[in-house]
């Protein structure tokens, strides 16, 4: 990377993603307004030790222009009862939400409210104010500690964080939700603190190995098996990168090397894939000479963090079912819109009418005799012979067609609860061109990028 | 096996296969005539120590009615020169052959003559008369020793040998030539001597294991790895059953058990398979849902003991070629008439247009980078992605069609000399119904019994 080119590139990216003064001022105004309202309501409810706090990237100046997310925590005393926090926290949040454009109650470890409020996507989350991150009572209690740590250590590096976040977005590895299994905002910030700049993170990552271990405070006390271990500076037992999958870890390494060799704006802002029509898409898939089979069903009404792990589990179960019946799976993937599509690409969807069933060696008298008796008595055996000293019965294959196998046996697969309900409610198995006929632009995109991300 | 039933069965079989008095007398007459002629010629050539001898089953009364084979050895002194034996042996044999209906010179370790003579198939074989079978100068020198051993030990058991030979013929395991890899006549005789009767051989074989070791004189001095070891009573280093394959060994065990459970004449004289027409044969093969590919070429003009090992080697080489290109071979086999057919049965003769080429893990920086550069530069790569931490390039498959693979690459396979010449002289690759259209009844039989023997 030449320095001048890199400097120009960084400036161009920042020009596009740094919030302008007015945008910043507006966010600050709204955040302060909400905090004031919450504090006032708490006071009126005689909750003296309860107060609101802005956390997340909005609080640490590491948000990208255009992403208007606010995370406001209602902090209860560490010794408050869980029942009180849940009940009173929700009362306060609901009173705020009454003024919103729209809102819904969501449930993580305890209930919280998500609302649209004057152009912002706001989470109002009750939590306990504990003494340290290692003695939290609920997962969200950790966030305020992260907030403090980053605020203390990020000064002067905020732009580096913006660049790294945008780089990760552009390369498809940003986001720690279970669908993406990539890098969280907090992890991105810690990487910048560790390496000191955007380009230092990029250069270092080029040589990362699975098991890369980063411990800012040298206080890690646990062994981890994940590809990247970033010891949480606020909680030495925790790996901040626990959700990062091996493939997203590798995709990041790959993108960093790509950027070092060919720095470009495109890697931050990849060009949109041009949509092609159904016929061309079908031709593209057909040219692979493989067999596509899709299972579709109505997407269950659950959050993505519940849906995607179940879909990934379903993919595994379906591949296992197919392989148990000797079908070879080349690639697999899931897509969820209104309907969900689990897509399998096979070497072939058809196998011979028979399968070779190998019995015991002929000289193992008893076993050999009962094997022979069993298959000689069966009427539908194709043929029976000895091969390499072993009895072989050629028996009719139960499922010579993968399509019928899936239709008949899918519901016996072990798949996640909600997905399983949705499948049992009704599913279709589609083949070849039928798959391309599902009308959804994002499914087309998914197919056009097949395989790969 | 009930004794009465068995007794009746044995009688019925013997009635059919024991040579009648006239047949015996005629064989004796011809054998003695030929011996006298040879002795007279030798005498006229002033070869005082040279004399003829009848060996083989004709000499030991263990021949089956209708098989008119005579093995007559011209025995030279043990200290004669090889040149003299070859030259003068052949002169004598040729003089005898002049009176035959037809003859040809054949070559084993040294030349001999095979002729049709008054209804007999006669081999006239020069050999050395050595002191013991352990100091033979040529493989055929062993035969006279076998002859003496059997003649001394078989008296009273000749009918048992006939029964066992017919049983082995009926079950397809008789014959030690390299095509069959079954039981030789000598081995059959030794088995009867060992176990004392036809039914004792059958009963004992039901529990044979690979490595079954029989040493009539308790003088064996070598370790052998073959499934059956019958130490040659005339030469302790040699395994008489060395040519017996594992599958023929197992087929014999299997047939013995079958006979013990269901004694019947059919096992000695299996019913001929009824010929079916091309269309039905094709339907039968098609119903398997597999892909048949045959390689055909003009059968090279060599004896079966040279041809079949080369065909078996060719089968292995062709299977290796197919599997190297990811085709799955279910069954293989060879048949030789005027043309030779090497038949392969595949799960499918077609594979996808692409194959997944797995590179190094992404974190092995140098290797990963050069793999990526190589495939990103190639124009015909389908797609490139990361799977389980490893770079995967989907590249065009060189041979998506097994038919084209064989057409283009067969001649690069390592196959035996004569077969290789024949293949290079010209071969065809046939698919599906084309195979059934080769007009030869014995090929039809081979196909109707597919797979199996």
**How does strand A212-214 pair with strand A228-232?**
parallel
Q: Is A123 one of the annotated binding-site residues?
A: yes
> Is the CB of B366 inside 8 Å of chain A's CB atoms?
no
- Angle at Cα A302 formed by Cα A299 and Cα A306, nearest 5°? 105
Q: Is the pLDDT of residue A416 over 70?
A: yes
Task: Give the distance, in angstroms, between the CA of residue B298 and the centroid of all CA atoms in the same chain.
Answer: 20
Test mutation, A203, A286, A385, chain B, max B CBs within 10 A: A385
Query: CB-CB: which of A208, A289, A354 is closest to B354?
Result: A289
ipTM score assigned to the predicted complex:
0.89
List chain A residues with CB under 8 Å of B348. Answer: 348, 350-351
Q: Is the pLDDT of residue A41 over 80?
A: yes
Task: Please list the ranges in chain B whose pLDDT falls under 70.
Answer: 1-2, 452-453
Beta-carbon contacts of residue A412 (< 8 Å; ≥ 6 apart): none
> Is the CB of B400 inside 8 Å of chain A's CB atoms?
yes
Phi-psi label, residue A363: left if phi above 0, alpha if psi -120 to 50, beta otherwise: alpha
Q: In what order do the strands lie in the sheet with A235-239?
A: A212-214, A228-232, A235-239
Does the bond joining B375 to the residue before it have cis omega, within 30 degrees of 0? no
pLDDT given for residue A1 in this prediction: 60
> Is the CB of B453 inside 8 Å of chain A's CB atoms?
yes
Tell me how crowded residue B379 is: count the other CB atoms within 10 A of its CB: 4
d(CA A337, CA B330): 43
Q: Is A71 one of the annotated binding-site residues?
A: yes
d(CA B201, CA B198): 5
* Closest-CA residue to B306 (of B427, B420, B412): B420
d(CA B203, CA B96): 45
Q: Is the pLDDT of residue A379 over 90?
A: no
A203 in Cβ contact with A167 (< 8 Å)? no
Does the bond joining A451 to the residue before it have cis omega, within 30 degrees of 0? yes
> Is the CB of A118 inside 8 Å of chain B's CB atoms?
no
Q: What is the mean pLDDT of residues A131-141?
A: 89
Instruction: Say if the Cβ atoms of A246 and B388 lie within 8 Å.
Output: yes
Instruction: Say if the Cβ atoms of A254 and B386 lie within 8 Å.
Output: yes
Distances, alpha carbon A284 to alpha carbons A289, A436, B212, in Å: 10, 11, 60
pLDDT given for residue B402 in this prediction: 97
Question: What DSSP string runs through A252-276?
Answer: HHHHHHHHHHS--GGGTSPPPPPP-
Distances, alpha carbon B137 to alpha carbons B123, B126, B128, in Å: 19, 12, 7
pLDDT given for residue A142 in this prediction: 93
Distances, alpha carbon B429 to alpha carbons A140, A360, B423, in Å: 70, 35, 11
pLDDT given for residue B432 in this prediction: 85
d(CA A270, CA A35): 37
Task: Determine the residue of chain B that is closest to A292 in CA distance.
Answer: B352
- In terms of C-beta density within 10 A (0-12 exposed, 13-18 middle, 19 or more buried), how is residue A215 classed? middle
Lowest mean pLDDT among A83-97, A156-170, A287-301, B99-113: B99-113
Half-sphere exposure for A385 (CA within 13 Å, toward CB): 15
- In terms of C-beta density within 10 A (0-12 exposed, 13-18 middle, 19 or more buried), how is residue A339 classed? middle
Tokens encoding B403: 């038919």
B122 in Cβ contact with B115 (< 8 Å)? yes
Mean pLDDT of chain A: 93
Tokens encoding A434: 């039928």
Task: Give the distance, in angstroms, between the CA of residue A145 and the centroid of all CA atoms in the same chain.
Answer: 24
d(CA B65, CA B120): 12
Phi-psi label, residue A72: left if phi above 0, alpha if psi -120 to 50, beta otherwise: beta
d(CA B261, CA B417): 46
Enumerate helices (H) and strands (E) in chain A, giving the number of each.
15, 15
> Is the CB of B363 inside 8 Å of chain A's CB atoms?
yes
Residue where the block lists tokens 């014995």: B442
Beta-carbon contacts of residue B99 (< 8 Å; ≥ 6 apart): B117
Tell me how crowded residue B219 is: count the other CB atoms within 10 A of its CB: 11
**Dihedral pair phi/psi, residue B207, rounded to 5°:** -115, 15
Instruction: Say if the Cβ atoms of B387 and A247 lie within 8 Å.
Output: yes
Distances, alpha carbon A6 to alpha carbons A65, A163, A164, A261, A283, in Å: 21, 12, 13, 12, 41
Task: Determine the residue of chain A that is closest to B396 in CA distance.
Answer: A288
d(CA B12, CA B1): 16
Q: Is B141 one of the annotated binding-site residues?
A: no
d(CA A335, CA A446): 7
Query: CB-CB: which of A347, A363, A383 is closest to B452?
Result: A383
Coil/strand/helix, residue A140: helix
Q: Is the pLDDT of residue A403 over 70?
A: yes
Query: CB-CB: which of A250, A347, A351 is closest to B362?
Result: A250
> Is the CB of B107 inside 8 Å of chain A's CB atoms?
no
Beta-carbon contacts of residue A450 (< 8 Å; ≥ 6 apart): A285, A331, A333, A343, A345, B383
**Dihedral pair phi/psi, residue B146, rounded to 5°:** -55, -45
> Is the CB of A330 inside 8 Å of chain B's CB atoms?
yes
Residue where the block lists tokens 């043309």: B339
List chain B residues with CB under 8 Å of A209. Answer: 363
Task: Determine the residue of chain B that is closest to A357 in CA distance.
Answer: B330
| Coarse DSSP helix, strand, coil percentages of chain B, rounded to the nearest 5 percent | 45, 25, 30
CA distance B328 to chain A (A): 11
List chain B residues with CB under 8 Å of A388. Answer: 246-247
Q: What is the mean pLDDT of residues A349-364?
A: 96
Q: What is the mean pLDDT of residues A416-443?
A: 90
Instruction: Say if the Cβ atoms of B351 and A347 lie within 8 Å.
Output: yes
Task: Classify the C-alpha dihedral B75-B79-B80-B82 as positive or negative.
Answer: positive
Instruction: Say if the Cβ atoms of B290 and A394 lie within 8 Å.
Output: no
Torsion from C-alpha of A181, A186, A192, A193, nearest 10 degrees = -140
Q: How confident is residue A439, by pLDDT bands cut at 50, 70 and 90? A: confident
Q: What is the DSSP secondary structure assignment for residue A71, as one 8-state letter?
A: E
Test mutation, B285, B362, B451, chain A, max A CBs within 10 A: B362
Q: Is B57 one of the annotated binding-site residues?
A: yes
Instruction: Say if the Cβ atoms of B289 and A400 lie within 8 Å.
Output: yes
Q: What is the mean pLDDT of residues A229-243?
A: 94
Chain A, chain B: beta-carbon pairs less than 8 Å apart: 121
pLDDT given for residue A448 in this prediction: 87
Q: Is the pLDDT of residue A452 over 80?
A: no
Q: How confident is residue A332, by pLDDT bands cut at 50, 70 and 90? A: very high
Residue where the block lists tokens 């590139």: A9
What residue ranges define each of the domains in chain B, with the CATH number in brackets? 18-140 (3.30.460.10), 158-267 (1.10.1410.30), 278-350+400-448 (3.30.70.590), 354-396 (no CATH)
d(CA B257, CA B191): 17
Tokens encoding A330: 């080349």
* Neighbouring-strand partners of residue B231: B239
Q: What is the pLDDT of residues A304-317, one digit of tens each?
A: 889 999 999 999 99
Query: CB-CB: which of B254, B347, B348 is closest to A362?
Result: B254
B159 in Cβ contact with B11 (< 8 Å)? no
* Closest-CA residue to B213 (of B201, B203, B225): B225
Phi-psi label, residue A432: left if phi above 0, alpha if psi -120 to 50, beta otherwise: left
d(CA A451, CA B4): 72
For residues B304 and A400, the model is more confident at A400
B150 in Cβ contact with B62 (< 8 Å)? yes
Query: CB-CB: which of A289, A353, A384 is closest to B289?
Result: A353
Task: Determine the residue of chain B that is closest to A351 in CA distance.
Answer: B347
pLDDT given for residue A126 in this prediction: 95
Q: Is the pLDDT of residue A413 over 80?
A: yes
Task: Give the distance, in angstroms, between the CA of residue B115 and the centroid of all CA atoms in the same chain.
Answer: 22
Coil/strand/helix, residue B376: helix
pLDDT given for residue B322 in this prediction: 98
Distances, alpha carbon A282 to alpha carbons A285, A337, A401, B84, in Å: 5, 20, 21, 80
pLDDT given for residue B349 in this prediction: 96
* Closest-CA residue to A208 (of A175, A250, A180, A240): A250
pLDDT given for residue B453 in this prediction: 52
């Amino acid at each position: 990377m030449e320095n001048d080119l890199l400097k120009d590139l960084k400036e161009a990216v920042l020009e596009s993603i740094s919030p302008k003064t007015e945008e910043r001022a507006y966010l600050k105004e709204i955040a302060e307004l909400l905090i004031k309202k919450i504090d006032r309501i708490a006071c009126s409810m005689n909750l003296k030790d309860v107060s609101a706090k802005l956390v997340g990237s909005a609080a640490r100046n590491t948000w990208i222009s255009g992403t208007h997310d606010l995370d406001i925590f209602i902090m209860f005393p560490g010794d408050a009862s869980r029942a009180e926090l849940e009940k009173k926290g929700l009362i306060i949040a609901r009173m705020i939400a009454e003024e919103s454009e729209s809102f819904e109650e969501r449930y993580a470890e305890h209930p919280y409210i998500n609302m649209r409020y004057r152009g912002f996507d706001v989470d109002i989350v009750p939590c306990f104010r504990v003494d340290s991150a290692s003695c939290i009572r609920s997962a969200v209690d950790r966030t305020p500690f992260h907030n403090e740590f980053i605020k203390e250590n990020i000064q002067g590096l905020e732009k580096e964080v913006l660049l790294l976040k945008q780089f990760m977005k552009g390369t498809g590895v940003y986001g720690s939700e279970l669908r993406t299994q990539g890098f969280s905002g907090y992890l991105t910030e810690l990487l910048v603190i560790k390496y000191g700049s955007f380009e230092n993170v990029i250069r270092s990552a080029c040589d990362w190995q699975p098991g890369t271990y980063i411990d800012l405070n040298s206080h890690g006390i646990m062994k981890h098996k994940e590809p990247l271990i970033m010891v949480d500076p606020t909680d030495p037992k925790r790996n901040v990168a626990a959700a990062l999958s091996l493939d997203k870890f590798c995709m990041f390494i790959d993108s960093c090397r790509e950027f070092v060799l060919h720095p470009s704006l495109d890697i931050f802002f990849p060009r949109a894939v041009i949509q092609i029509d159904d016929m061309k898409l079908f031709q593209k898939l057909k040219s692979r000479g493989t067999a596509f089979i899709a299972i579709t069903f109505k997407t269950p009404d659950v959050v993505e963090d519940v849906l995607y792990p179940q879909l990934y589990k379903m993919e595994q179960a379906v591949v296992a079912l197919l392989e148990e019946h000797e079908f070879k799976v080349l690639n697999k993937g899931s897509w969820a819109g209104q309907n969900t599509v689990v897509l399998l690409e096979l070497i072939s969807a058809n196998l011979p009418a028979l399968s070779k069933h190998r019995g015991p060696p002929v000289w193992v008298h008893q076993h050999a005799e009962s094997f022979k008796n069993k298959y000689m008595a069966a009427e539908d055996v194709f043929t029976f012979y000895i091969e390499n000293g072993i009895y072989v019965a050629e028996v009719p294959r139960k499922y010579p067609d993968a399509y019928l196998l899936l239709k008949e046996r899918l519901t016996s697969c072990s798949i996640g609860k909600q997905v399983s309900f949705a499948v049992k409610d009704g599913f279709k198995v589609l083949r070849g061109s039928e798959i391309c006929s599902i009308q959804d632009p994002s499914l087309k995109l998914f197919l056009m990028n097949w395989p790969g991300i």
